Structure 1
């Protein structure tokens, strides 16, 4: 029997402290396309992995061992093979490929390495706020494309979870505000055959999104509306529902309140608004992923992750009624705050 006076071992603290080790190992393996290699040739010997990538056997073996320790690889013969999780999410070209998101996060760890500066100064560290208004002002075209591809990987499973948890069968026209990538629109249109959607986002985002919509075979049901929901005086009308999917955490309270007022003005009476996010508990004591994502907003934006109570108050103040929260489980969102225009 354990002595109640005995302190717990520090294993959990060690797991937290070494979390970056695991993240970097996964990012390097993904950048090497290691999981795609092993999908095509399960059991590939260490020496051959090293030769394919022009590296020594020692780092090849250590990286493979680390990925096996992360339960992403298993031993097969003289080498390693993907686990079902790795085979589903880490093989390039698979429908639910997660690699773009992993690499996008890896590129932004530089800001996390300056978290002490962000905490002390209350300013983002993933970009220079003296030179740019936000991280979305990035001019590198390749980086922009990779970022929105990564957001698709995060949003698609979240959209499927939202569609299963919230009945949108009565919605005919959905306006997805800031819906770059159209992951929510594509997944929701697949689930609800009578639904049509409009993606409102910056012109260059709409151009990047067009190819994704066409590949999904939904160009006749998912429209693209170039615009700026922050600066435009009004949002496109003619929709009976508005979706704000994983964007509200990017902005501060006054900006979010302004967005909600525009949404209210754009909707007809009885129109639905859906805020899909990683929601911090009202007590602000977790859960872990929303809490850490909120801290990620400190280093990346001027926003944070908000609570259902905060969203509910803003919605009420904007003129919405019947506020409720629908919970589900997904990597990009764990719930939706829903309300109706009176």
Structure 2
């Protein structure tokens, strides 16, 4: 007998914006942090967060529904994912990102028009050097790169690599440099990014105690010289999705020239399968690029392989760093 279809799944997706709202509001009031500290009832949590009991109960109901918070005999606690990724102060905390996304929800209203046009149009993209939103965006997105940075460090054997030089193109928060320099006390890293972004990175790297081996080049990577045979490692993390095919091939070619013989390029991004059937996060992230860039997207493994080969790389491997993929090219 066939199972009768119900609209439950579709209704949950249509109302999916509630997940962003609930998680963003909970992060704004530090609910995950208070839960982690032992505020395990509605009344205790309301007092700790300085919010109403009605509001607290509503957020907890939503978080239980989303599977982020667990309820046992009237007591609430963070689930494993909330404990790992939503408690403030932890290196991998995405709490600030949750609040950022809550504020960006209204921007989705233009998606039907952007879909029709095929992009946001001239002047609509936010990727410009002097945009004041970097002060909030750059620190908020740093934590999502922590797992991939750690995986890459292990894959490359950075701890035992000795005196190496690193070029991080479009390095943003500097989180890769911070983690890699912590792993290897003999390494040095140079970040190329816009001056306002580099200033933010400098603060993060200083907080991690490795600022003495971190330098910045202020500029646009499209036009700034990378040098020739100057670096042992080069990093191109979450930049490729902002570029089209020609832009990525051009960048990969210049990065190949910037590497010393035997050097490696690390690319990190949301990579989709060849038939575009998955992974889910990489597929849905394409809409972010449609909204915010006129040439970006989420690219397939085959496209990355072809672009890197065209740029002169011969040994190209792919490694899981969910939801991202790491590509190591030599």
**Distance in 2 separating the partners of 1:121 and 1:12:** 30
CA-CA distance at 1:119 after TM superposition: 1.1
Instruction: After superposing the two structures, state which structure 1 stretch, 41-50 or 20-29, moved more.
Output: 41-50
**Distance in 1 separating the partners of 2:59 and 2:249:** 47
**Distance in 1 separating the partners of 2:252 and 2:191:** 17
**Distance in 2 separating the partners of 1:59 and 1:197:** 46
CA-CA distance at 1:305 after TM superposition: 1.1
How many residues are matched? 326
Whether 1:61 aligns to 2:53 is no
Whether 1:235 aligns to 2:231 is no
Match of 1:13 among 4, 10, 14: 10
- Tell me the SS of whatever aligns to 1:220: helix
**Distance in 1 separating the partners of 2:3 and 2:71:** 38
**Distance in 2 separating the partners of 1:315 and 1:38:** 46
**Distance in 2 separating the partners of 1:207 and 1:223:** 11
In structure 2, the residue matched to 1:72 is 68
CA-CA distance at 1:167 after TM superposition: 4.1
Note if contact 1:162-1:328 (Cα within 8 Å) is conserved in structure 2. no
**Distance in 2 separating the partners of 1:206 and 1:285:** 37
Normalized against structure 1, the TM-score is what? 0.85
Note if contact 2:20-2:101 (Cα within 8 Å) is conserved in structure 1. no
In structure 2, the residue matched to 1:178 is 170
Unaligned runs of 5+ in 2: none
**Distance in 2 separating the partners of 1:104 and 1:138:** 19
Note if contact 1:242-1:274 (Cα within 8 Å) is conserved in structure 2. yes
Unaligned runs of 5+ in 1: none
Match of 2:126 among 129, 132, 135: 135
- Tell me the SS of whatever aligns to 2:261: coil
Whether 1:216 aligns to 2:208 is yes
In structure 1, the residue matched to 2:94 is 98
Whether 1:308 aligns to 2:301 is yes
Relative distance call for 1:32 and 1:139 in structure 2 (3 A) is farther
Note if contact 2:86-2:93 (Cα within 8 Å) is conserved in structure 1. yes
**Distance in 1 separating the partners of 2:305 and 2:4:** 41
Q: CA RMSD in A?
A: 2.6
Relative distance call for 1:336 and 1:86 in structure 2 (3 A) is closer
